[in-house]
A and B are shown apart, each in its own frame.
Chain A
Amino acid sequence: MNLRLLAQKSLASRRSTAILTIVSIAVSVILLLGVEKVRVNAKSSFANTISGTDLIVGARSGSIQLLLYSVFRIGSATNNISWKSYQHIAQQKGVKWTIPISLGDSHRGFRVMGTSRDYFSVYQYGEKRTLKFTSGKQFEAVFDAVIGSEVAKTLNYSIGDQVIISHGTGSASFTQHKDKPFVISGILEHTGTPVDRTVHVSLAGIEAMHINWNGAVKKRKTSKVVTESNLQPESITAFLVGLDSKIVSFKMQRYINDYAGEPLLAIFPGIALHELWSLMSVAEKALLIISLFVVVAALTGMLAVSLAGLNERRREVAILRSVGASHWHIMGLLITETVLLTMIGIIIGLIMLYSSIWVAQPLIEKNYGLFIPITAPNVRELGMISVLLAASFLVGLVPAYFAYKNSLADGMSVRS
């Protein structure tokens, strides 16, 4: 009878403790690999959100804050910047394109972003991919809106539907621009970025919606005909800049940061993202350490169970010895047992991890904008699994050693 079969049968006879040990290993595997998956995917989803943009310009605040509100729609701007400053910088030599961004309104919990038509041709994400429409087209009229795939899916919208935009960004906003509904003109393809959760309208649309509308008090005037000509915004929240050449990047940044007309801040999105990571790395390490401790706890639990069981198994060991098993066989049996338990724990953990990702995927994407794909474990994760297996082997050595010592001392005598 080989060791694995023997170990299996022996474990089967102690089902309940074996199952509990497997569960604790499985839970630790879920935590360890789950944390790793979230970490890696959060990073890549952030990194994939913007590409091809050389600078982001907003009111002077912190670079991470500017990055978060302009690109990830997290938090809000401390200040707006004037249309004049925007125009001035957009016309500088070396500036290839600019995309204005105007934030501050929402539609049923989704942020509304005012922008220019260039946005749809110039904005890039992932590996320099541009936005594509699944249906419809970009906004043409003042009250046209283009929605992201997640907005369309969640609210079940299609082309031609009307949307009413609320003032402010809370989902329970009381002041709504009911007199001026927007009409959906286009739906964008899924991108896996905050674009999916955004309602895009023209800057003129944002202006038009606020015309005849005085702060929190709505004036009940019939909406007069609004055309694009009288709808130039006075200010915007931020703008993205593309440059002709990388060489001018730093000069342009200095120029914008020293701009006398208004305190502005120009950041490199890649470098701001890097700063964000170094800020997050503390939390990341803390999470990793916690999950490592959970693994250690699971292994220690397994060791405790294994050692506690040893006394009760003296008879088993003695019988095995009597039918010709050597010390090495007994030791091998115990080591095989722990490794087997760990392996089963890992497999069950992986199954549970992947099925919970499968179940939670749409929820996580909807609530946090984070898409966690179901992919095979990467090198780092496989490494973690191998280390866990190696650790279980070492843990197996302890009861094996005691069993060896006991079997020497006990010989064939059975005291029970």
Chain B
Amino acid sequence: MKNSNSMTLALASLMLTLPSVHANASELDAHEHGSANLDIAIDTSTIEMRFESPAVNIVGFEYATEDEQQLLLINKAKSNLSNFDLIYGLVGDVSCQTVKSSAKWVTEHEAGHDDHGEVAKAEHAEFIAEYRLECNQLNNLAAIDVKMFEFFPAIEDLDVQVVYSQGQIKYELDANNTLIKLDR
């Protein structure tokens, strides 16, 4: 697509106006407004989490901005997202230390969509937050409470995948159902 002539450009811009373009994204990179993903991997002493959401769920827009108000919003969201104890709660007799927590704003292009050049122009942006916790007595972790719905009400449903010693599970959370139970 890189050496596109005017014909394909015209076609591409036509395609942009069609909502079906969104459906072309592969399963993992699906960009669905209102919905977000949370992957959790738990080992004997470590928890790693990765949260991914379309930016529109977090700040209400997805375009690159120079507007100060909007930049403030982005920064505020980043600081909220990277504050693990603010938006998650660990249930059970465990003591964990957050060794890494980061949140960043990623446009689709940066996220590795080079082969979908024209989609990148549609200005899809995402927030990606990553956390790593080192814990004692991780076997006592009974559940993880997801409190982010209070801060980001535009997230209607959160698809959670958990991989831990007892298996691989999937949860669908929403504002009324925020607990990820871990059977031991």
A247/B169 contact (C-beta < 8 A), A257-B26, A271-B161 known: no
| Cβ 8 A contact of A274, one of B42, B164, B170 | B170
Residues of B within 8 A of A265 (CB): 27
Contact mask for chain B residues 6-45; partner A; CB cutoff 8 A; 1 contact, 0 none? 0000000000000000000011100000000001011100
A246/B164 contact (C-beta < 8 A), A254-B28, A257-B26, A271-B169 known: yes
Instruction: Flag if B112 contacts A246 (CB, 8 Å).
Output: no
Expressed in whole angstroms, the Cα–Cα distance for A227 and B147 within the complex equals 61
Instruction: Flag if B167 contacts A247 (CB, 8 Å).
Output: no
Number of B interface residues in the complex (CB < 8 A): 19
Dominant secondary structure of chain A at its interface with chain B: helix
Residues of A within 8 A of B43 (CB): 245-247
CB distance from A118 to the nearest CB of B (A): 22
Expressed in whole angstroms, the Cα–Cα distance for A254 and B42 within the complex equals 17
| Cβ 8 A contact of B163, one of A257, A258, A268 | A268
Chain B residue at minimal CB-CB distance from A60 = B26
A275/B112 contact (C-beta < 8 A), A246-B42, A250-B39 known: no
| Cβ 8 A contact of B168, one of A245, A247, A254, A271 | A271
Instruction: Flag if B170 contacts A246 (CB, 8 Å).
Output: no
Near B by CB (< 8 A), chain A positions 237-267 give 245-250, 254, 257-258, 265
Chain B residue at minimal CB-CB distance from A245 = B43
B46 at the interface (CB under 8 A from A): yes
CB distance from B116 to the nearest CB of A (A): 13
A269 at the interface (CB under 8 A from B): yes
B165 at the interface (CB under 8 A from A): yes
Residues of B within 8 A of A34 (CB): none
Contact mask for chain B residues 142-177; partner A; CB cutoff 8 A; 1 contact, 0 none? 000000000000000000010111011110000000
CB distance from B135 to the nearest CB of A (A): 12
Instruction: Flag if A247 contacts B46 (CB, 8 Å).
Output: yes
A54 at the interface (CB under 8 A from B): yes
B48 at the interface (CB under 8 A from A): yes
Residues of A within 8 A of B170 (CB): 271, 274-275
B109 at the interface (CB under 8 A from A): no
Expressed in whole angstroms, the Cα–Cα distance for A271 and B170 within the complex equals 6
B104 at the interface (CB under 8 A from A): no
Residues of B within 8 A of A54 (CB): 163
Expressed in whole angstroms, the Cα–Cα distance for A274 and B161 within the complex equals 11
| Cβ 8 A contact of B41, one of A246, A258, A269 | A246
Expressed in whole angstroms, the Cα–Cα distance for A257 and B169 within the complex equals 19
Chain B residue at minimal CB-CB distance from A53 = B168
CB distance from B42 to the nearest CB of A (A): 6
Residues of A within 8 A of B112 (CB): 258
Residues of A within 8 A of B161 (CB): 250, 268, 271
Near B by CB (< 8 A), chain A positions 255-298 give 257-258, 265, 268-271, 274-275
Residues of A within 8 A of B50 (CB): 250
Residues of B within 8 A of A269 (CB): 168
Instruction: Flag if B163 contacts A274 (CB, 8 Å).
Output: no
CB distance from B160 to the nearest CB of A (A): 10
Contact mask for chain B residues 87-119; partner A; CB cutoff 8 A; 1 contact, 0 none? 000000000000000000000000010000000
A247/B48 contact (C-beta < 8 A), A270-B167, A271-B170, A274-B170 known: yes
> What are 9 A-B pairs at a CB distance below 8 A?
A60-B26, A246-B42, A246-B163, A247-B48, A257-B26, A257-B28, A258-B112, A270-B169, A275-B170
User: Besides A247-B43, A247-B48, 15 other CB < 8 A contacts?
Assistant: A246-B164, A246-B165, A247-B41, A247-B46, A249-B41, A250-B161, A254-B28, A257-B26, A257-B27, A257-B28, A265-B27, A268-B161, A270-B169, A271-B169, A271-B170
Chain B residues within CB distance 8 Å of chain A: 26-28, 39, 41-43, 46, 48, 50, 112, 161, 163-165, 167-170
